[in-house]
Chains A and B, each alone.
Chain A
């Protein structure tokens, strides 16, 4: 199986990838998925709180869209946000009919909960493991579809034909160590986020931004990479996430004096202000000495044991295990931690990137519906709405294009390159460099940033890039060479870290999750624009692009 051909090839088997594959198949394409883990192992699993839609008759898609625009700090593209909000109700109903066991109200209809930054209770949920519940149902649909999945294949390169159109991928079969070529008339990247660029992060170990790096290297621009979400409530010991549903259900955030400090920065929404606002507030409490051992406290005790056990069972377990705190009887120490990338591969509202034949959806893509700050429960929504759209658009593109020509050389070249990489006499360990990168990013490119710190990060990344180029691979074998995969992932992540820093240096304002202490104000005159990073000699080349404004003119954000 050194070469296989499909109409549409999806990279990644999380929610966006599976939804895209199903949509492309429904449009008549022969589809396959290439994924570096088995489908149900994807990080979509970790989404806890829910999925947004204006389904309730008292709610409206306009209200959902406006909340999202406001949440994005006006950096979201409003045409894309309109699509997201308009298509949300049908997307949720579709998931329900596929078999998702959404929570119900007393009439047996879908029941919703409150979430941050939302003016209605429009978050639909399955306990506090909504992502897992949806992921496994989409997997059920994938089984039903018979779509082929190539599991445990790591993509090392996008193939392009003479005209620059993407024509497949080269991938390492992790299990055997062989290199394969997958030809396709269209490729959809659904590879998730870049979490591991930071340390700590709520993200799974597989979230290494592979698709972002593949696209970037193939000439696609990465957009708004400086927009990194820090979730207000993560655990100190291992960075694990405590879902926003804890606050959605009525939980309080307090400092060491017992004050609900959100009263200062968001007197109306309090704990349910958008995440950037809450994270900044929590970080200020910690920085100014009103924290408890570097944390603030999340208190849900007043909800009572029954509600905690029904609505928040999984996070109670996590807090017990990793913070030693039982939410029923104790407040849980939490702090802001890296959680999500709002930026990513630039796409239009059909999921097409500027590179012909290349599509993207989900966290790796930037449509942009999240702009400077994503609202909770909009990410699952984005995966299914834009996953479907990308699948349909890719199927359409594929049907109008002949099967790409085949040449053996890319596979052979890649095989030689990887063999040389494994066998070289290197120095240093991948893991140590990854840790250094992650800690640098958290300390210099975290909740609060400034020009000097960003310049330090830039220099540190240059040094890391040099050392990573000479790192030793501690496994010389072929089977499951995870050391090789880790080195390739680090190589990807260094590109992405450089883009995050380049975007953060360029954006001399504070907007959404990007807070520059040396440029504390939002600057609509200059920066109501997206940043774009293109791969170039010696690091990213930064450009900008306008934001699509349809009906909501920027104004000051208050919660």
Chain B
């Protein structure tokens, strides 16, 4: 099959600009986008830079954007990319997002790995070591294993909408890594970890629940769901003196109270106190001018029935550590982002 790859290229040594270059190659039907890029490099243009190694989505080297979507080149079939919308037999290939381009498809990974290092990503047991292995149930290991499936490829970081506006955000990969330790029964520093993740700038409350990381993760690690679990656990552990936790609590409270979201109330109650509220006056004013802060809410018929749903959901979820995704998804779509942005349920 013939395919044309449109590759976004950049070589700062020769040219400060980026440019698009088209290559047409013949590849087998089962070829991946990486196979096609390697065919280009091997047969047409040796100057095309692409990091790659395993060809079987285990090393995480070849993350890139294919027709705008963050993915591993070795896990995306050419035929599939063409079907999904490549116009006129063309597949568009760009370097991963949210990381500086070094050359062609190679991006700067130092920041990415720096954030992984920032979460103290190693097991920190407390107490004397056992004589042999730690005794832990297989189910607990299987749960942690699902997060250990992360290959640190950075597809989630490439796709992350929060990172696009604030590069301090630790990001989905590092936070999924952090989750792995809070979930591991052998680790004895849950509380320290949760406190750090709650309070550090760019911590767990900076995720906007956009699901992009869940969609693009090639190993089904579901980073966003782990971030939501971290939030719940942080609040359960009492780390509520921060805007994210306050926002989440206020969110829940206003819905439990009246069945609808009173965004003004949520915004006011999300901040630490009146002094901090002053920082948000500008945002409030702009929101008001755009009609996002109505002076009076119309009564919504049946809204109170929502409060019954909240109570029922809280009864069901009580004590469950795994119901996080569903509860956390509730505020999804709230347009008026206060500090922290839409939070998980505090229940």
Query: Which A residues are closer than 8 A to B by beta carbons?
Result: 37-38, 40-43, 45-46, 93, 96-99, 101-111, 126-127, 129, 132-133, 136-137, 140-141, 143-144, 175, 204-206, 237-238, 240-241, 310, 314, 318, 321-322, 324, 429-432, 473-480, 482-483, 486
Query: Which B residues are closer than 8 A to A by beta carbons?
Result: 11-14, 28, 30, 35, 41-43, 45-47, 49-56, 58-61, 75, 77, 102-104, 106, 109, 113, 116-117, 120-123, 125, 129-130, 132-138, 141-142, 144-145, 148-152, 184, 186-187
Subset of 24 A-B contacts with CB under 8 Å: A40-B59, A40-B151, A43-B54, A46-B54, A93-B133, A99-B186, A101-B184, A102-B133, A104-B141, A107-B135, A108-B136, A111-B138, A126-B145, A132-B148, A132-B149, A136-B152, A141-B122, A204-B53, A240-B56, A431-B42, A477-B47, A479-B12, A479-B103, A486-B46
Chain A residue at minimum C-beta to C-beta distance from B12: A479
Residue among A40, A99, A109, A205 with max Cβ neighbours from chain B (10 Å): A99
Residues of chain B within 8 A (CB-CB) of A430 are 46
Assembly CA distance A318 to B54 (angstroms):
12
Assembly CA distance A103 to B145 (angstroms):
9
Assembly CA distance A363 to B11 (angstroms):
36
Chain B residue at minimum C-beta to C-beta distance from A478: B13
Residues of chain A within 8 A (CB-CB) of B148 are 101, 126, 132-133, 136
Q: How far is the CB of A525 from chain B (nearest CB, A)?
A: 43
7 further A-B contacts with Cβ under 8 Å, apart from A322-B30, A429-B46, A479-B13, are: A37-B59, A46-B59, A93-B133, A129-B58, A143-B116, A475-B46, A479-B49
Cβ contact of A129, chosen from B14, B136, B149, cutoff 8 A: B149
A40 close to B60 (CB less than 8 A): yes
A482 close to B141 (CB less than 8 A): no
Assembly CA distance A479 to B41 (angstroms):
16
Assembly CA distance A109 to B141 (angstroms):
11
A480 close to B123 (CB less than 8 A): no
Residues of chain B within 8 A (CB-CB) of A129 are 58, 149
A101 close to B145 (CB less than 8 A): yes
Chain A residue at minimum C-beta to C-beta distance from B52: A205
Q: How far is the CB of A418 from chain B (nearest CB, A)?
A: 15
Residues of chain A within 8 A (CB-CB) of B133 are 93, 96-97, 102, 109-110
Cβ contact of A479, chosen from B102, B141, B149, cutoff 8 A: B102
Q: A38-B109, A204-B55 are in contact. Are A101 and B135 (CB under 8 A)?
A: no
Assembly CA distance A102 to B77 (angstroms):
32
Chain A residue at minimum C-beta to C-beta distance from B143: A101
Q: A38-B113, A40-B60, A108-B137 are in contact. Are A101 and B144 (CB under 8 A)?
A: yes
A474 close to B46 (CB less than 8 A): yes
Q: How far is the CB of A309 from chain B (nearest CB, A)?
A: 11
B58 close to A132 (CB less than 8 A): yes
Q: A45-B54, A45-B59 are in contact. Are A483 and B47 (CB under 8 A)?
A: yes
B117 close to A108 (CB less than 8 A): no
Assembly CA distance A204 to B55 (angstroms):
7
Assembly CA distance A249 to B42 (angstroms):
39
Q: A97-B129, A237-B30, A318-B56 are in contact. Are A144 and B152 (CB under 8 A)?
A: no
